[in-house]
Chains A and B, each alone.
Chain A
Amino acid sequence: MKISVGHGLADAEKRLEESGVSRRDFMKFCGIIAATMGMGPAYATEVAAALTADNRPSVIWLHNAECTGCSESILRMASIDGKTAYIDTLILDVISLEYQETIMAAAGEMAEKALHDAMKKPYLLVIEGGIPMKDNGIYGKVGGVTMLEMVKKAITSKNCLATIAYGTCAAYGGVQAAKPNPTDAKGVKAVFPKSLVINVPGCPPNPYNLVGTVVAAIMTVTKKAPLPALDGDLRPTVFFGATVHDQCERQPFFEKEQFAMSFDSPEAKKGWCLYKLGCKGPSTYNNCPTKKFNPLDKGVGVNWPVQAGHPCIGCSEPNFWDKMSPFYEMEK
């Protein structure tokens, strides 16, 4: 959705300068990314090198069975300080986004050709949406081929360096995979167990977690840094290492056993703990309470569900649609 997306692999710094991003701003950005990834300030230089290297990969973004909320989420990123370029512009400016159906200008066979051409050289693959498997995948087609075939071609190509499954659908199958999973939808890793897949779940995820993961993946494939630490569900622990509950601003109420027992209670109005109204924060690994959503300045979001008085539904956990529901009942 931005004009500056993907305009080339070379001369990244020069182009950034032309779009009003000074080297100082860029290094500041790289420092923040390094910190986001838990790498420490010294890594800023490494991040910058990885992002401006001539051989860094382009990015192909494929849509499957999904709602496009993940694509939308990435478009809600803002600038670091409210003045310089928006982080999404910056990051997508530096990478080369070759195929993205939601925002690309081309359509039809011209769009297909763009995908075909993009796959001729090394790329990072970002997948949004679950993959319908039932009846050989006929429940989802793009350009006349099933999503299963499309993803298979992209993920098994020798040019595919690594894959990021963005959002709970791509990571674990998502809403269409909830019981009884009518189309037998699956997450990317379940369909392609041999591929290198990093999961960035959430419904939708916090876009910060994608930006950080894209940079980390580029650093990994350009051998500037090792693969970030992943948990058993293949999530980067730097974002998904602690529970929502442990980072929650209402956690002190939990400790004092001060609970809201109904949504109209004085306790709900006072902002007490929502655990007894069904909050799944204790079983959910994500950084929502610290990063929040819809940032504008300084990278901190404006709100998140618990602040808005609504229980966490556990949307970054595998199979949360079945495991965490009923959402308004306490966990068993």
Chain B
Amino acid sequence: MAPKTPQSNFSGPVVVDPVTRIEGHLRIDATVENGKIVDVRSSSQLFRGLEIILKGRDPRDAQHFTQRACGVCTYVHALCSTRAVDNAVKVKIPKNATIMRNLVMGSQYLHDHLVHFYHLHALDWVNVANALQADPVKTAALSNSLSPNRKETADQFKAVQTKVKALVDSGKLGIFTNAYFLGEKKNEAYYLPAEADLMAVKHYLDALHMQVKAARAMAIFGAKNPHTQFTVVGGVTNYDALKPDRIAEYKALTDEVIAFIKDFYIPDLLAVASFYKDWAGIGGTSNFISFGEFPTDEYNLDSRFFAPGVIMKRDLAKVASMDQKKIEEHVKHSWYVGDKAHHPYNGVTEPKYTKLEDKDRYSWMKAPRYNGEACETGPLATVLVAFAKGHKPTVDAVKFVLNYLKVDASALFSTLGRTAARGIECLVTANQMQVWLDALVGNVKGGDTELYTPWKMPNEAEGVGFVQAPRGALSHWIKIKKGKIENFQLVVPSTWSLGPRCAAGKLGPVEEALMGTPIFDPHRPVEILRTVHSFDPCIACGVHVLDAKTGKTSSFKVL
């Protein structure tokens, strides 16, 4: 019989704070009864106030401020703000600018998902210490069986083992100190064979070097990573990147990264998943929202390569179009005054911190709801919408994964499904990169080097930008008055996925996902990390919507 997550009869509270290997400051407060989570709260622990800081500034500058919402999902806020102001000033940007923005976003998807799988998520599944028990010869055989393009040797795995052994023998474990897979007693929640553990440890290191290349590719068009500096309202600025040698450099780096994704990331994901198949029945949610991404026409959401849409109650037969009017934000269980839900246009933001372990009001995040329902966003939402709409590249990739794991589509609604969907989104995006690059090269060869359309700042205007970031649905909303920012709002993926309860008491998606999760060892609750990390939390993004200075209502809180 396949190994399963061990069960316990523990009852009591389990708190994880800080949740590490994420962006930002997150706390999970769970109540466990007879070995299963029966109550849970997701609490964000930092507030920064970016929206307040933006008021009165030049709308063109917004992208630089908002990009500093997050350095992990870098670029996405810069793009979203730029789209919002493009929209407000009604400028039609050149085709090449759209393509260049897509290429940088594509690089961000490749980079972000690769890093998430190996460096932020893998240690929830991979027992580094157990890699010492592996046979390097068998490990090489296992690894090479997963892709015809792998040519790994026993010596390479032996070298990694030696490195891990030196680490353990030294007694100084650095970043692995007190990891949940360590302890006097083996943590039975980890059950990969030793060879799979060793293989994953080696690829953890290889991926560390590969992500440098993915970021470097992004910088050829984006100027630098983290924090690109090439977008402007009206287009992009990077004429240097249109030179054939720069495009060739981008292509060479990107091809190398894509090969790694195909030959290592995806096969490793499937291999690890095949050992943890019981996690296809743990950690699911019900509703999903995606804004879609990679437009051919910046002004038409339906032109996006991944389509926008909403799925309710896991019903893949019905994908609704996304209607921003159905969005409300709740504060009844957040550190704000009041308990009424508002459409963001009429949002009220009045901070009122209570205390750390308050069960009633417990997070700096608000709780966005679509038609009154909590919706998960991120790769799983994007993949489900694309799959349900019959987007062929996505359908093919989903079918390939389901067939490999011998599970049906219902398995997608789980922690494992969420992690697999991230790989699928990455793979499908990777396969599209060359199409965009060819289009850019074709335009340049045809003499079209336009990257920017001039425009004039209106006295009054409003606009919105929608982005499907690697972590999900992101929107920025701007109101311009007298040529300055009168109001600016960000509604970000992590409030959708990791926000608290709403006025109706409905759990946020990560809370819903954690309910019923088995906890074997309350001192090493890796099961909580598995599900929380599968959402790829980015908390800094989620916690900037409060005016702490004045405690005043935001008259404009949109989407």
Decide if B540 touches A102 in the complex (CB within 8 Å): no
- In the bound complex, how far is the Cα of B226 from the Cα of A69, in angstroms? 6
* Complex contacts, B548 vs chain A, CB 8 Å: 134-135, 139, 182-183
Of B174-182, B316-324, B400-408, the segment with at least 4 beta carbons within 8 Å of chain A is: B174-182
A49 in the interface (beta carbon within 8 A):
no
Decide if B452 touches A3 in the complex (CB within 8 Å): no
Residue of A nearest to B364 (CB): A139
Residue of A nearest to B230 (CB): A308
Decide if B239 touches A269 in the complex (CB within 8 Å): yes
Decide if A96 touches B174 in the complex (CB within 8 Å): yes
Set B20, B48, B220: member contacting A102, Cβ < 8 A: B20
Nearest CB in chain A: distance from B375 CB, A:
25
Nearest CB in chain B: distance from A126 CB, A:
14
Set A7, A185, A293, A303: member contacting B170, Cβ < 8 A: A7
A81 in the interface (beta carbon within 8 A):
no
A252 in the interface (beta carbon within 8 A):
no
A18 in the interface (beta carbon within 8 A):
yes
* Contact (A176, B48) CB under 8 Å given A101-B20, A103-B119, A107-B21: yes
Nearest CB in chain A: distance from B523 CB, A:
8
- In the bound complex, how far is the Cα of B176 from the Cα of A5, in angstroms? 9
B244 in the interface (beta carbon within 8 A):
no
- In the bound complex, how far is the Cα of B235 from the Cα of A304, in angstroms? 18
Decide if B540 touches A66 in the complex (CB within 8 Å): yes
Flag A166-191 by CB within 8 Å of B: 1 or 0 each: 00000000111011111101000000
Decide if B172 touches A329 in the complex (CB within 8 Å): no
A122 in the interface (beta carbon within 8 A):
no
Set A67, A117, A308: member contacting B69, Cβ < 8 A: A67
Decide if A175 touches B19 in the complex (CB within 8 Å): no
- In the bound complex, how far is the Cα of B68 from the Cα of A308, in angstroms? 20
A242 in the interface (beta carbon within 8 A):
no
How many chain A residues sit at the interface, stated as a range, is 35 or more
Flag B308-326 by CB within 8 Å of A: 1 or 0 each: 0000000000000000000
A19 in the interface (beta carbon within 8 A):
yes
Chain A contact residues: helix, strand, loop or mixed: loop
* Contact (A20, B159) CB under 8 Å given A294-B212, A308-B240, A325-B57: yes
* Complex contacts, A134 vs chain B, CB 8 Å: 548
Decide if B219 touches A103 in the complex (CB within 8 Å): no
* Complex contacts, B227 vs chain A, CB 8 Å: 69, 203-204
* Contact (A7, B167) CB under 8 Å given A107-B529, A179-B53: yes
Decide if B240 touches A107 in the complex (CB within 8 Å): no
Question: How many B residues, CB 8 Å from partner?
Answer: 101
Residue of A nearest to B165 (CB): A18
A104 in the interface (beta carbon within 8 A):
yes
* Complex contacts, A229 vs chain B, CB 8 Å: none
Decide if A3 touches B16 in the complex (CB within 8 Å): no
B185 in the interface (beta carbon within 8 A):
no
B339 in the interface (beta carbon within 8 A):
no
* Complex contacts, B159 vs chain A, CB 8 Å: 20
Flag A143-182 by CB within 8 Å of B: 1 or 0 each: 1100000000000000000000000000000111011111
Interface residues of A in 1-29 (CB under 8 A from B): 1-11, 15, 18-20
Set A70, A139, A293: member contacting B46, Cβ < 8 A: A139
* Contact (A204, B226) CB under 8 Å given A1-B208, A68-B24, A328-B61: yes
Of A38-46, A232-240, A260-268, the segment with at least 4 beta carbons within 8 Å of chain B is: A260-268
- In the bound complex, how far is the Cα of B445 from the Cα of A265, in angstroms? 19
* Complex contacts, A325 vs chain B, CB 8 Å: 57-58, 61
* Complex contacts, A135 vs chain B, CB 8 Å: 353, 548
Nearest CB in chain A: distance from B243 CB, A:
11
Nearest CB in chain B: distance from A1 CB, A:
5
Nearest CB in chain B: distance from A52 CB, A:
15
A196 in the interface (beta carbon within 8 A):
no
Flag A303-316 by CB within 8 Å of B: 1 or 0 each: 11101111001000
Of B70-78, B419-427, B460-468, B496-504, the segment with at least 4 beta carbons within 8 Å of chain A is: B70-78
- In the bound complex, how far is the Cα of B173 from the Cα of A155, in angstroms? 23
- In the bound complex, how far is the Cα of B550 from the Cα of A181, in angstroms? 11
Decide if B19 touches A4 in the complex (CB within 8 Å): no
A241 in the interface (beta carbon within 8 A):
no
Residue of A nearest to B524 (CB): A110
* Complex contacts, B224 vs chain A, CB 8 Å: 293-294, 301, 303-305
* Contact (A65, B46) CB under 8 Å given A4-B167, A326-B57: yes
14 contacting pairs across A/B (C-beta < 8 A): A68-B72, A68-B540, A69-B227, A72-B72, A86-B212, A96-B172, A105-B180, A107-B19, A107-B529, A110-B178, A176-B50, A263-B235, A263-B451, A263-B454
Where the two chains meet, the residues of A that have a C-beta atom closer than 8 Å to any C-beta of B are: 1-11, 15, 18-20, 63, 65-73, 75-78, 86, 89, 96-98, 100-111, 113-114, 117, 132, 134-135, 138-144, 174-176, 178-183, 185, 203-204, 262-264, 268-269, 271, 293-296, 301-305, 307-310, 313, 321, 325-329
